Amino acid sequence: MDEDFNRDQQGTAGLPESTVSGAAHEIAVALLTGGGDKPYAFGLATELISKGAALDLIGNDDLDCLEFHGNPGVHFLNLRGDQRPDVGFVTKTLRVLTYYAKLIRYAATAEPRIFHILWNNRFQSFDRTLLMLYYKLLGKTIVLTVHNVNAGKRDSTDTLFNRLTLRVQYRLADHFFVHTEQMKNELVREFGLQGARVSVIPFGINNAVPNTGLTSGEARQRLGLPDAERTILFFGNIAPYKGLEYLITAFQHIWGRGGDYRLIIAGWPKNCERYWSTIGEAIREDVQRGRILLRADYIPDDETEVYFKAADVLVLPYRHIYQSGVLFLGYSFGLPVLAADVGSLKDEIVEGETGFVFRPEDPIDLARAIETYFASDLYKDLSTRRHEIRDYATKQHSWDVVGQMTMSLYAGLLRIPYPGELSNRDASRASLDVKAPS
């Protein structure tokens, strides 16, 4: 363990209040979102600001919120602008090139020493290699949140070049945040990283998508769903690794055996035309007959709660994943989850209390899990259980804990004290033996 960092952590409690406050404000960070998952970027950014970080937040129109304006703790830089997909090739190319030009110019004069990358940008190979080298030449300390150790492996598109560029980025970064021990072990095993450079930090619960006083009954009325119908939700970007075909087969199986079931598919088919064409053919009759409610589109934040409050259960039939933001989005609305036993999903399910687990790529076992759920007390008492699920998720995945861990690790990398106090459990999860780069 780094001795200087140890002394910093141990000595904080005895510092005068003015010194402690100053230490927090010495933590200046550039948070590079890459235009990725808004709920995660919003949750982390707002928590870091509340804990005294001086933040340069690099974002786009989607992340441009009132919370980031008029706040002295954050400098919001909308370098990406409009990211709508329904524009021509030339427009897309120009806005990507313009963004990179702005990003490179920003980095050359940026004051924060820490560059925390939440997601890479459009050109992965460039971001992983030349852009990382550029940041290092500027003397930046690079923290990388790894949401997927190797997305190419997950999507069955892995190549030697993909692994090579990943290896370069992982070698150049100074410290890593992952969401599960399994991800940490894979980083260490497959890319030869030292365990001390990888910290396990929980996935924060959604606090960006609006959660109003809309009731479940009102949500069902908006979607035209009868109150008595047993409603199953699939939500989020649609891609082959998410295994939607297994849910469709399971749904058709249980529907054929009787019962008032409805499946909602709400999500955008993302770069998978052939896969989506096959799915569309499989569900055509069910959509026409009203058994499946389909919205194959990007769901805006202000419409998201309608789907989660109208549903009785969320299903994650994934074939491969490390961790799922959709799971925590469901929990934030108190919705039980049925999840395939892949990655670390099983670790987030309390059987019979927050949901059930089934075998991956097995529609028969998924059908069993659906029927088990609708026969359970969890479903029968859903109106009261929703509150319990929200409380459970908030305690397990509090942004306060995530922010404390993150700020402590920033301080360790900068070799300065940080006043935040972590419990022994949280300190262990944060791997506080972080090595400060030379």
* DSSP per residue, 327-372: HHHHHHTT--EEEES-TTGGGG--BTTTEEEE-TT-HHHHHHHHHH
Residue 109, class by beta-carbon neighbours within 10 Å (0-12 exposed, 13-18 middle, 19+ buried)? exposed
CA geometry: angle 369, 373, 378, nearest 5 deg: 150
Are 390 and 420 within one domain? Answer: no
pLDDT value of position 3? 33
Q: Is residue 89 part of a domain?
A: yes
Q: Is residue 69 part of a domain?
A: yes
Q: Is residue 391 part of a domain?
A: yes
Q: Is residue 211 part of a domain?
A: no
* DSSP per residue, 224-255: T--TTSEEEEEES-B-GGG-HHHHHHHHHHHH
- Tell which phi-psi region holds residue 359, choosing left (phi > 0), alpha (psi between -120 and 50) or beta: beta
Q: Are 338 and 355 in contact (CB under 8 A)?
A: yes
Q: Is residue 299 part of a domain?
A: yes
Backbone phi and psi for residue 396, each to the nearest 5 degrees, phi listed first? -75, -30
Q: Is residue 285 part of a domain?
A: yes
What's the order of all strands across the beta sheet hosting 261-266? 292-295, 261-266, 230-235, 313-316, 337-340, 355-358
Q: Which residues contact 45 (CB under 8 A, 6 or more apart)?
A: 31, 55, 57, 68, 74
pTM for this predicted structure: 0.80
What is the domain count for the chain? 2
pLDDT value of position 140? 97
Q: Is the dihedral of CA 330, 237, 215, 263 positive or negative?
A: negative
Q: Return the CA Rg of the chain.
A: 23
Are 269 and 329 within one domain? Answer: yes
Are 193 and 327 within one domain? Answer: no
* d(C-alpha 273, C-alpha 119), whole Å: 24
Q: Is residue 161 part of a domain?
A: yes
For residue 438 the two structure tokens come to 């030379």
Q: Which residues contact 383 (CB under 8 A, 6 or more apart)?
A: 216
pLDDT value of position 206? 82
Are 405 and 350 within one domain? Answer: no
Instruction: Indicate the Cα dihedral angle 215, 221, 227, 230, nearest 10°.
Output: -90
- Single out the residue of 175, 156, 155, 166 nearest to residue 127, CA to CA: 166
Q: Is residue 200 part of a domain?
A: yes
Are 198 and 116 within one domain? Answer: yes
Helix orientation angle between 399-414 and 38-50, rounded to the nearest 10 degrees: 70
* DSSP per residue, 126-143: HIIIIIHHHHHHTT-EEE
Are 390 and 422 within one domain? Answer: no
Q: Tens place of pLDDT for every residue, the chain, 438 residues? A: 333 323 233 333 333 333 344 445 589 999 999 766 788 899 999 999 999 999 999 999 888 888 898 888 899 999 988 877 777 888 888 888 999 999 999 999 999 999 999 999 888 999 999 999 999 999 999 999 998 888 888 878 889 999 999 999 999 999 999 998 989 999 999 999 999 999 999 888 888 888 999 999 999 999 999 988 999 999 998 999 999 999 999 999 998 887 789 999 999 897 788 999 999 999 999 999 999 999 998 888 889 999 999 999 999 999 988 788 899 999 999 999 999 999 888 888 999 999 999 999 999 999 999 999 999 999 999 989 999 999 988 888 889 989 999 999 999 999 888 765 444 444 444 433 444 333
| Residue whose tokens read 């259980």 | 385
Domain region containing 139? 3-204+398-429
* d(C-alpha 386, C-alpha 365), whole Å: 25
Residue 387: CATH number of its domain: 3.40.50.2000
Are 338 and 410 within one domain? Answer: no
* d(C-alpha 363, C-alpha 351), whole Å: 19
Residue 175 parent element (H or E): strand 175-178
Are 66 and 27 within one domain? Answer: yes
Are 196 and 279 within one domain? Answer: no
Are 23 and 83 within one domain? Answer: yes
* d(C-alpha 113, C-alpha 27), whole Å: 9
- Provide the β-strand partners of residue 141: 114
- Count of positions (residues) in the chain: 438
Are 32 and 93 within one domain? Answer: yes
Are 168 and 220 within one domain? Answer: no
Q: Are 64 and 78 in contact (CB under 8 A)?
A: yes
Q: Count CA within 13 A, CB hemisphere, residue 248.
A: 19
For residue 149 the two structure tokens come to 């150790």
Backbone phi and psi for residue 200, each to the nearest 5 degrees, phi listed first? -90, 115
Q: Are 118 and 34 in contact (CB under 8 A)?
A: yes
